[in-house]
Amino acid sequence: MEFLHQLGTLDFWKTLLDGFGDLGPLAPIALAMVESFFPPLPLIAIVALNVAAHGGFLGFAYSWIGVLLGGTLMFLFWRRVVKRFFWKVASRSEKLEKAQRWVSRLDVASLFMLSVLPFAPSSFMHFAFGISDFDEKRYLITMLLGKGAMVAMMALFGQSIVSSLKNPVYLILAVVLWGGMYWASKQFCKKHDI
């Protein structure tokens, strides 16, 4: 239980990042990537940490690459391994059929919006689209663009945390922006029955 509490502290991530300092960009990319495999990790804290440690542009780039690699690996795992080898057994599940019906109702614009919203369940998205018949290339390109916009907003938030040490107005603006994004995420998820 104590370990889970430590995962939520900025000091834990800063110490972890400092420990991997000799690996260059591999550490921040790997941190952002791990969030795709273990969704409870706070991606916003990882992006903010990457921005604080590497600056606005590199922090954004490392985080975006990590999120894309992790999301792509999870999607391809569900699509190429689970769907190919276990689908005959798994397709009998009511939950899997429900996930496929949900995907069939979404278009590319809705998928993009879902990718942009930071509080939408991305691990469920990779799973649902991975086991569906949704076009693989369209999913990956839409995710690339949507997650880029989401990570850019998170990087701005991370930059505002650094800037708030000099001027607290940036932190207030960032909190208002994230409050709005949280509300929009909840409304979108409610509309699309997620």
Report whether 7 contacts 1 (CB < 8 A). no
> What's the angle, vertex CA 45, arms to CA 42 and CA 49, rounded to 5?
145
Among 57, 175, 37, which residue's Cα sits nearest to residue 47? 57
How confident is the model at residue 17, as a pLDDT? 62
What is the model's pLDDT at position 175?
A: 73
Instruction: For residue 46, give the 3-state DSSP assignment.
Output: helix
Q: What is the DSSP letter of 77?
A: I
Distance CA 106, CA 131 (A): 14
Which residue stretches of the chain have pLDDT < 50?
none
Q: Which amino acid is at 75?
A: F
Q: Is the pTM of this model over 0.75?
A: no
End-to-end CA distance of the chain: 29
Q: What length is written for the chain?
A: 194
The total of other beta-carbon atoms located within 10 Å of residue 87's CB is 12
Instruction: Tell me the pLDDT tens digit for each residue of 95-144.
Output: 777 777 778 778 888 888 888 877 677 888 888 888 888 889 999 999 99
